[in-house]
Structures are given as structure tokens and as C-alpha cells.
């Protein structure tokens, strides 16, 4: 077609597209109200209508006077007049004006079935009115007349996409992609055509093709924010985190306000408490609150990018392209669920046996469409209702339970590869798409330093002598700003040097709330992540016990040098695995012992091993058939020493224990002061052939 000017001329087709205007499916070229210079304005149409009425009266008058009928018969409007009149009716954008525009275009196409402009305009009008089958027939007519007409291809792509979104027919998705693909083949410099393809290729699980389309859209119009959004979305889906982060941060500030708010709003994934706290803040403090929220939910604290936030932006982009309604300035329940939990594993339209009517009090039963999204890994099934039969889905109506979807807590707890916000309102993967996950075990332990609390991080990952693995750790304070960072190469584990690599980190920090994370990287691009919150309390004047840490054998102690006290080097065993005959070795420190008059401190400590296995049976089963209790392993002793600090390791025989999960409880009593302290640690007894140490 080439470059076509906007003219009300059916012989020269007006460029017509149905695309995502600001992210939703809407007219690309919205017909402006026509001026007298461009066509017929409202006054002219009203005069035409009055003229037709007057002509009818004149016809009747001529007949009554005996004049020939042909003398009063007005000439029928030609196709061009009908086309111009239809455009003017469409510009009014009312129910009645759209009906009249349809009548004009139907008459015009009946007179000239091969008129491409009228067929395209009528197809677009049918599409906006919801008559998808009629719209498809008009676009197919144009395609038959000219297979290289890009507007017909775009129109068919839109119709098939709308059919896919309603009926979830993958065949419709394939047809939509094929039509859009033909459109950009015909007109390769069209940014919108490439944008049309991006979300569909993501739906088709072809992110690399989506990335190629997004790059073509960006090249066609580098300044368009939607093109940058598509680039960030597709880049993240292939695992290019840095490109995605740069594209999103460039695009979001340039979006229209109502669209930009969707990317900046944390309400869909934040708890009610966080949302209420955010709304109470003055506008100048809200940006910092949002930054802190996302940093708190950053899977990898050591990386420059926030993978959870990028995942959220990617989901928002997909929902914006597919479900956003520009007239209502919002998406329906599909978009709400999508940005919180991502695409479902399975989606069913009007499932067999599902409700297809809803009741409103005593006013009768009304038909509805039902859409069901299943997330089996989260133990969650989400039902959405189209109660207006308009394709807009809402939450189910219920007075008995909260219709807001939420994952099953037990299912979520089993997914260590997922990170959930408070209350499970949002769930994000720990790794970006395409990452090679490493299974990492980590633990944080609190000790007392010479002046401040000392936080120790231990990490362990599977790896042999030929594996090159290194780890980095970061500690964030309560405002989620970085206060410590370190990096080191992992060394062979003392538990099993041939199978595991381990490392430890430490930082002296003021008392407070912290979030620590350790990231492990492999030479092949593999990654492992450990993160956990920790509270460091101030040193108490009374008896105090450090955290109890499982160690691979007895810790190594570096002697004191100058003002530096002796340093204990633990053999990292953060998973607490003990095999075969054992034994179990743990390390802890005792602070603030009270010496007697002779300067001698006396400490008594006792340890007890109990099963930590949870019986998953219901209470009646546990009552009728209780499991046999395992005998507790317990021992105690008393030690005398000089000074107020004692570094202690304990070896516990576990030969008699069967394979399972256990808890070691350590109870310490200061004989001189009478003070007591208790701490515990979990460990796993494994069979010899599966153990690490």
C-alpha cells in the first residue's frame, strides 16, 4: 500500500490497525472528528438526515398531486458518501452512531464488495463492537483481494488473538502469530507489527524469537517506550538480566502515567500491612519504601540487579500487552493473578462440571463464563468469572471465604527455589530464566566479638577437585543498605573433600536487624543462592550462649597474636549432615561466666538429642497408632576454667540413631551465678553412602 494519507476516500484505503494502544488492544488510528474540509461534520449529517426526511415528504406530496414519482426520487448516496458518513458517525463514538456507521459500511460493501477501504473499515468496526466472526470475514475478504495487504493481516492477527484469549485455543494463537508475521514481512519497518508479536511468542514459549522481534521494534522506533518494554521483557525471559534491567529503567519513566503506575505499584504483591504503611507515607518517602521492599525480596543480594523486581516487571509487561483495558485504565483479574504468580501451568475455559451461572440474591440465576488457572506447584487453583459475558474476568462472589487467591503454605515451603512475599501474595523464582541452579546449603551464626556482635556465614555446595567455585556474601542493615561485602574461593570441605566445597565469612556489626546473602558461582555460569534474616542482639551482662554450629570435626583454632584474640575456624557443615556411625560435632561459645573469689568459673552443660521428624498424619491417626518414641541421647558434665569466656566443642555419639532428622539441645548453667541459657541446632543422620561428612 505504501504511505497512505488520512483521506475519507474509499478508493484510497485509510491505514487501519487494531493494536495495543498503550498496551491494550485498541484502534491504532483513532478516527478524529471530521471537519468540513475533510468530510462531513455532524451538522452536515444532521442536514442529510433532515433532507432525506423532507425528500420523503416531497415524494408523497408529488404522488398526491399526480406528478410523476421519478420527479421526487432523490439519488442514492454513492460509496464515497457512505464511507465519509460512516467515518463521521464513528467519530461520535456512541452506541447509536456505531450502529449507523455499520449500516453505512454494510451498504457500501454490498455495492462494492471489492472496495478494500470499506471492507477494512467495516472489519475494524465489527472488531470494536465484538462481532469477531463478521470482522474475520471482512479481513479475509481483503486478504483474498490482496494477500500483501498488511492491514488485513494485522486485523486477522487481532481477531485470532482475541479468540485465543477467550477460548485458550492454541490453534488460534498459532494463526495470530502467522498473520502478524506476514504483516511484518510485508512492512518490516512497522514498530507496532513487531510489538504485536512479542507477547504472543512469549505465550508460545519462544523467548528468543520474542527477543528478535523486540529488537526489530526497538530499531524501528528507538524512542518508543513500548518497544523498550518489549525488549526488557524478552531479554529477561532469555536470562539477559543486565539488558533487561537497562531497558526497563529506560522505558518505565517515559510511559503514560496510568501505565507507569502499574510498574511502580507494589500493592498486588505486598501485604496489606505494607500497602497501608506505604499509603500513610508522604510522597517524598514512598520511593524509599518501595526500594526497601524490593531489596528485601531480592533473591541474590550480591548482584547489581534485582531479579524479583525484573520478574515482576516482565509479568506486568505481558499482562499490560494482553489484558490492559485503556478505557478503564486497568486490567481484569487475569492481569492481577498473572503479575503475582506468573503464567499458570494449566488454564481451562468453562471446565466440565464447573458452575456456568451465578445467583444474585432472589433475583434469579444469570449465565457466566468460567476461567480456571491451575498452579499445582503452589497448591493453588484460581477461578475467575466473566459475569457480564464481555471477556472481562472478575473474582468469584463469596460470603463464606476470601476469594483472593493464595498458595498453600506447605506446598510453598517445599519449593526452596521460590521466594514469596508476606502472606504469599507474590511468588518469584530465586533464579532468572535460563540459569543453572546450584544446590547450596548455608547457615548464619551469631557470636560475640571483642567489641560488637560477630555474624558468621557458612556455605557448602557440591563440587569436586576440578570444579572452580567462588562465593560472595553481602549483609544489609534494617534499611536494606549494604554494610558488609566479601568474596572468596571455596575450598575442599573437611566433611568430604572429594564431593563438597565450603567456605565461611564473618563481619563485626552493631546490634540490629540484618539480611545476609551468599551467592556461589561456577565457571560454567551456574549459580547458587542462600539468604536469611538475622537479629544481632546487644551483649548481655548475664550468662549468654552463642548459636550452636554443626562442624566437620573439631574446629581449628588460630593462636592469639598481639591484641588479636584466638580465632576459631569452623569446618563448615551448614546442612548438618552426619553419616554412618558419626559422631556429631558441634561448636558454641559461652559468655559472661562469673568467676569466684579465686578467679575460677564453673560451668555445667547438658545436651539432649531428640527426633525432629514431623508426623504428617492427622491427629486421630497419631492417637490410634502412635509412632514408637526414640530413646533420647543425653549427657552432662561440669568444667572449671579461668576467665569469663569458654569456647566449647562437643562430640555426640549417634551410632544408635536411625536415619532421620534430629534436634540437639544444649543447656548451659553458670554454677557460680545460677544463670542458665539454652540453644539448639538441627542435624540429619544419613546412611553412609549418601552422606557428606
Share of the chain above pLDDT 90, in %: 69
Distance CA 180, CA 164 (A): 14
**Cell numbers representing residue 485 in the block:** 561485602
Min mean pLDDT across 37-41, 83-87, 209-213, 627-631 is at 37-41
Give the model's confidence band at 33: pLDDT under 50 very low, under 70 low, under 90 confident, else very high: very low
Tell me whether residue 657 is exposed, middle or buried, using C-beta atoms within 10 angstroms of its C-beta: 0 to 12, 13 to 18, 19 or more. buried
Q: Do strands 660-670 and 676-686 pair parallel, antiparallel, or not at all (unpaired)?
A: antiparallel
In this prediction, residue 571 carries a pLDDT of 83
**Cell numbers representing residue 564 in the block:** 588479636
Contact 354, 364 (CB under 8 A): no
Q: What is the edge-to-edge ordering of all strands in the sheet holding 577-579?
A: 577-579, 676-686, 660-670, 600-611, 633-642
What mean pLDDT do residues 660-680 have? 94
pLDDT > 80? residue 558: no
**Beta pairing partners, 462:** 500
pLDDT per residue as tens digits for the range 510-533: 999 999 999 999 998 899 999 999
Distance CA 168, CA 322 (A): 13
Distance CA 308, CA 245 (A): 11
Output the pTM of the full model. 0.85
Architecture of domain 77-141: Alpha Horseshoe (1.25)
Give the model's confidence band at 66: pLDDT under 50 very low, under 70 low, under 90 confident, else very high: low
In this prediction, residue 27 carries a pLDDT of 35
pLDDT > 70? residue 589: yes
In this prediction, residue 191 carries a pLDDT of 96
In this prediction, residue 64 carries a pLDDT of 53
**Cell numbers representing residue 419 in the block:** 521466594
Distance CA 425, CA 270 (A): 6
Beta strands in 265-354 (DSSP E): 324-325, 330-331, 346-349
pLDDT > 70? residue 560: no
Min mean pLDDT across 42-46, 54-58, 176-180, 346-350 is at 42-46
Distance CA 232, CA 35 (A): 41
Architecture of domain 436-538: Sandwich (2.60)
pLDDT > 80? residue 388: yes
Distance CA 210, CA 237 (A): 9
Q: Do strands 526-536 and 436-437 pair parallel, antiparallel, or not at all (unpaired)?
A: parallel
Distance CA 647, CA 666 (A): 14
Do 77-141 and 436-538 share a fold? no
pLDDT per residue as tens digits for the range 445-502: 999 988 899 999 999 999 988 889 999 999 999 999 999 999 999 999 988 899 999 9
Beta strands in 467-599 (DSSP E): 469-476, 482-489, 491-492, 500-508, 512-522, 526-536, 544-545, 549-551, 556-558, 567-569, 577-579, 584-591
Q: What is the edge-to-edge ordering of all strands in the sheet holding 436-437?
A: 436-437, 526-536, 512-522, 469-476, 482-489
pLDDT per residue as tens digits for the range 406-422: 999 999 999 999 999 99
Distance CA 327, CA 500 (A): 58
Contact 144, 155 (CB under 8 A): no
**Listed ranges 51-55, 71-75, 669-673, 684-688; the one with the highest mean pLDDT:** 669-673
Contact 139, 156 (CB under 8 A): yes
| Per-position DSSP letters for 629-640, written without gaps between them | PPPPEEEEEEEE
pLDDT > 70? residue 611: yes
Residues 6+ apart with CB under 8 A from 48: 40, 85
CATH number of 540-692: 2.60.40.3880
Q: Is 290 helix (H, G, I), strand (E, B) or coil?
A: helix
- Whether cis (ω within 30° of 0) applies to the bond prior to 583 is yes
Q: In degrees rounded to 5, what are phi and psi of residue 38?
A: -95, -30
pLDDT > 70? residue 60: no
Residues 6+ apart with CB under 8 A from 127: 18, 135, 155, 158, 159, 162
In this prediction, residue 360 carries a pLDDT of 78
What separation, in Å, do the N-terminal and C-terminal C-alpha atoms of the chain show? Answer: 74
Give the HSE-up count for residue 189: Cα atoms under 13 Å, Cβ half-sphere: 2
Neighbouring CB atoms inside 10 A of 324's CB total 24
Residue extents of the structural domains in the chain: 77-141, 346-429, 436-538, 540-692
pLDDT per residue as tens digits for the range 223-277: 999 999 999 999 999 999 999 999 999 999 999 999 999 999 999 999 999 999 9
| Per-position DSSP letters for 248-269, written without gaps between them | HHHHGGGS-HHHHHHHH--TTT
**CA distances (Å), 497 to each of 265, 462, 577, in order?**
48, 10, 14
Contact 460, 427 (CB under 8 A): no
Nearest Cα neighbor of 117 from 227, 219, 8 is 8
State which H helix or E strand residue 601 sits in.
strand 600-611
**CA distances (Å), 131 to each of 69, 109, 135, 565, in order?**
40, 17, 6, 82
State which H helix or E strand residue 171 sits in.
helix 170-186
**Beta pairing partners, 568:** 557
Distance CA 17, CA 190 (A): 12
In this prediction, residue 208 carries a pLDDT of 98
In this prediction, residue 9 carries a pLDDT of 47
Nearest Cα neighbor of 486 from 501, 473, 477 is 473
**To which residue does cell 536415619 refer?**
659
- The dihedral sign for the CA sequence 280, 286, 288, 294: positive
Min mean pLDDT across 35-39, 168-172, 222-226, 328-332 is at 35-39
**CA distances (Å), 304 to each of 264, 289, 472, in order?**
19, 19, 13
**CA distances (Å), 154 to each of 22, 90, 246, 466, 530, in order?**
17, 20, 30, 55, 47
Give the model's confidence band at 2: pLDDT under 50 very low, under 70 low, under 90 confident, else very high: very low
Amino acid at each position: 500500500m505504501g504511505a497512505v494519507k488520512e483521506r475519507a476516500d474509499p478508493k484510497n484505503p485509510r491505514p487501519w490497525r487494531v493494536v495495543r494502544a498503550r498496551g491494550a488492544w485498541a484502534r491504532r488510528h483513532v478516527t478524529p472528528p471530521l471537519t468540513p474540509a475533510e468530510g462531513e461534520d455532524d451538522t452536515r449529517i444532521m442536514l442529510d438526515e433532515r433532507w432525506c426526511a423532507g425528500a420523503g415528504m416531497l415524494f408523497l406530496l408529488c404522488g398526491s398531486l399526480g406528478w410523476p414519482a421519478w420527479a421526487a426520487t432523490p439519488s442514492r448516496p454513492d460509496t464515497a458518501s457512505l464511507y465519509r458518513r460512516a467515518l463521521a458517525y464513528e467519530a461520535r463514538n456512541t452506541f447509536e452512531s456505531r450502529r449507523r456507521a455499520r449500516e453505512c459500511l454494510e451498504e457500501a460493501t454490498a455495492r462494492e464488495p471489492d472496495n478494500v477501504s470499506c471492507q477494512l473499515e467495516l472489519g475494524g468496526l465489527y472488531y470494536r463492537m465484538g462481532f469477531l466472526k463478521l470482522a474475520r470475514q471482512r479481513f479475509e475478504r481483503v486478504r483474498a483481494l490482496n494477500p500483501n495487504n498488511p492491514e488485513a493481516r494485522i486485523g486477522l492477527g487481532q481477531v485470532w488473538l482475541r479468540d485465543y484469549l477467550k477460548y485458550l485455543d492454541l490453534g488460534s494463537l498459532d494463526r495470530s502469530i502467522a498473520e502478524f508475521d506476514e504483516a511484518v514481512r510485508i512492512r518490516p519497518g512497522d514498530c507496532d507489527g513487531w510489538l504485536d508479536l512479542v507477547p504472543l511468542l512469549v505465550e508460545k514459549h519462544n523467548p528468543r524469537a520474542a527477543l528478535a522481534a523486540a529488537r526489530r521494534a526497538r530499531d524501528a522506533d528507538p524512542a518508543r517506550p513500548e518497544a523498550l518494554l518489549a525488549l526488557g521483557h524478552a531479554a529477561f525471559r532469555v536470562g539477559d538480566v543486565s539488558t533487561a534491567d537497562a531497558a526497563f529503567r529506560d522505558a518505565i519513566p517515559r510511559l503514560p502515567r496510568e501505565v507507569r503506575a502499574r510498574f511502580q505499584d507494589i500493592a498486588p504483591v505486598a501485604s496489606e500491612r505494607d500497602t497501608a504503611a506505604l499509603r500513610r507515607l508522604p510522597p517524598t518517602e514512598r520511593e524509599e519504601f518501595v526500594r526497601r521492599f524490593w531489596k528485601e525480596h531480592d533473591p541474590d543480594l550480591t548482584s547489581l540487579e534485582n531479579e524479583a523486581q525484573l520478574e515482576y516487571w516482565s509479568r506486568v509487561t505481558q499482562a499490560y500487552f494482553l489484558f490492559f483495558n485503556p478505557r478503564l485504565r486497568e486490567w481484569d483479574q487475569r492481569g492481577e493473578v498473572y503479575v503475582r504468580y506468573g503464567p499458570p501451568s494449566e488454564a481451562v475455559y468453562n471446565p466440565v462440571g464447573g458452575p456456568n451461572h451465578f445467583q444474585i440474591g432472589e433475583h434469579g440465576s444469570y449465565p457466566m463464563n468460567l476461567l480456571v488457572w491451575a498452579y499445582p506447584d503452589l497448591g493453588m487453583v484460581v477461578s475467575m468469572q466473566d459475569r457480564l459475558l464481555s471477556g472481562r474476568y472478575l473474582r468469584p462472589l463469596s460470603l463464606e471465604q476470601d476469594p483472593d487467591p493464595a498458595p498453600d503454605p506447605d506446598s510453598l515451603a517445599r519449593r526452596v527455589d521460590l521466594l514469596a512475599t508476606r502472606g504469599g501474595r507474590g511468588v518469584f523464582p530465586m533464579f532468572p530464566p535460563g540459569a543453572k541452579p546450584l544446590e547450596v546449603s548455608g547457615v548464619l551464626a551469631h557470636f560475640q566479638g571483642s567489641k560488637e556482635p560477630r555474624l558468621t556465614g557458612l556455605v557448602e555446595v557440591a563440587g569436586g577437585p576440578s570444579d572452580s567455585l567462588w562465593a560472595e556474601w553481602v549483609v544489609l542493615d534494617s534499611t536494606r543498605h549494604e554494610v558488609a561485602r566479601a568474596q572468596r574461593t571455596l575450598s575442599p570441605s573437611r566433611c568430604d573433600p572429594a564431593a563438597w566445597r565450603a567456605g565461611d565469612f564473618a563481619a563485626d556489626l552493631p546490634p540490629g536487624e540484618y539480611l545476609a546473602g551468599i551467592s556461589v558461582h561456577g565457571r560454567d555460569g551456574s549459580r547458587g543462592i542462600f539468604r536469611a534474616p538475622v537479629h544481632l542482639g546487644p551483649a548481655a551482662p548475664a550468662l549468654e550462649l552463642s548459636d550452636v554450629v554443626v562442624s566437620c570435626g573439631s574446629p581449628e583454632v588460630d593462636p592469639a597474636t598481639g591484641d588479636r584474640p584466638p580465632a576459631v575456624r569452623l569446618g563448615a557443615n551448614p546442612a548438618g549432615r552426619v553419616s554412618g556411625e558419626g559422631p556429631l560435632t558441634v561448636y558454641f561459645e559461652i559468655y559472661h561466666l562469673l568467676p569466684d573469689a579465686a578467679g575460677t568459673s564453673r560451668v555445667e552443660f547438658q545436651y539432649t538429642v531428640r527426633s525432629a521428624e514431623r508426623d504428617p498424619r492427622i491427629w486421630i491417626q497419631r492417637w490410634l497408632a502412635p509412632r514408637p518414641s526414640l530413646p533420647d541421647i543425653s549427657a552432662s558434665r561440669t568444667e572449671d576454667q579461668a576467665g569469663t569466656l569458654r569456647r566449647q566443642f562437643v562430640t555426640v555419639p549417634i551410632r544408635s540413631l536411625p536415619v532421620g532428622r534430629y534436634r540437639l539441645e544444649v543447656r548451659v548453667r553458670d554454677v557460680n551465678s545460677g544463670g542458665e541459657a539454652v540453644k539448639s541446632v538441627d542435624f540429619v543422620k544419613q546412611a553412609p553412602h549418601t552422606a557428606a561428612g
